[in-house]
Amino acid sequence: MFKPVFAGLLFLTHLGAASLLSAPAQANNIADNLAEPHLFIKPGGAQGAQVALTLDACSGKTDLRILNMLVEEKIPATFFITSRWLQHNQPAMDIMLAHPDLFQIENHGAQHVPAITTIPTMYGIKTAGSLEAVTKEVQSGADAIKAAGAPQPQWYRDATARYSKDAITHIEKMGFQIGGYSLNADMGASLSAGSTEKRILNARDGDVIIAHINQPTRHAGEGVASGILKLKKRGMRFVRLKDVESSRSVLSDAKH
């Protein structure tokens, strides 16, 4: 059984009452309370280099260039899906459920909301704003996955992959591991096919790759599919998060 260990959970606490701080100091304190979890898996060792491929389905549709390739090539992956995506993509969900040997389905929330309580928006997306809202987002996402026929999710990744300190603690108390990553393949499906492929080909033993499977009209998806195929041909092994131990997770400051 994997035992994720999150180390380096160091956050700078407020240095005093907000009223006594200058505006720049208050802004810095807020930023210091935000974090981007970095996650690594145990290296493959004698069996060969391995990576965990994780794919976010935030909203929108399904990139079948990626999903069909994974099925045809029998490449394991972990999907983080929202209930919002699930409402409009049942055929894709059926494909995932039909291949439990390949695919792990995890929680990306109900409405794709950043688990942040300290600022109103992150990258233009409205944040949860309170722990109560975080609870609703996380639990509703998990309920939707179970209702669709998948096992109880064990991992949670929020929108933007940025969190406030209290939200991380709260989500872990709810029984979820935080779905961090170490290699951002497509920058929110915003990159070109070539740039995305190049990033994936830079993957090293123990990396957790994040990419997106919900943008079929963008060029990034082409790069995800081609990059994964080329990485496989190089001898890289792909594993799901639940099949391996997680090494230390490093939480770096996430500036807004």
The residue count for the chain: 256
- Mean pLDDT of the 40-66 span: 97
- CB atoms < 10 A from the CB of 134, how many? 28
pLDDT at position 5, please? 39
- Mean pLDDT of the 188-215 span: 98
Burial of 107 (0-12, 13-18, 19+ CB in 10 A): buried
* pLDDT value at 14 more than 90: no
pLDDT-based confidence at residue 177 (cuts at 50, 70, 90): very high
* pLDDT value at 206 more than 90: yes
In terms of Cα–Cα distance, which of 225, 210, 203, 244 is closest to 75?
225
Neighbouring-strand partners of residue 7 = 250
Please write the tens of the pLDDT for every residue from 79-92: 999 999 999 999 99
Catalogue all structural domains in the chain, each as residue range(s) with its CATH number.
5-14+38-253 (3.20.20.370)
* pLDDT value at 4 more than 60: no
Give the helix ranges, DSSP H, for 151-192.
165-173
Please give the structure tokens belonging to residue 145: 């996955």
* pLDDT value at 148 more than 60: yes
Residues 141 and 108 sit within 8 Å (Cβ to Cβ): yes
Which DSSP state fits 163?
A: E
Please write the tens of the pLDDT for every residue from 30-40: 666 899 999 99
Q: Phi then psi for 187, rounded to 5 degrees?
A: 50, 55
pLDDT-based confidence at residue 105 (cuts at 50, 70, 90): very high
pLDDT-based confidence at residue 246 (cuts at 50, 70, 90): confident
Q: For helices 131-147 and 165-173, give the axis angle rounded to 10 degrees.
A: 40
Q: What type of residue sits at position 35?
A: A
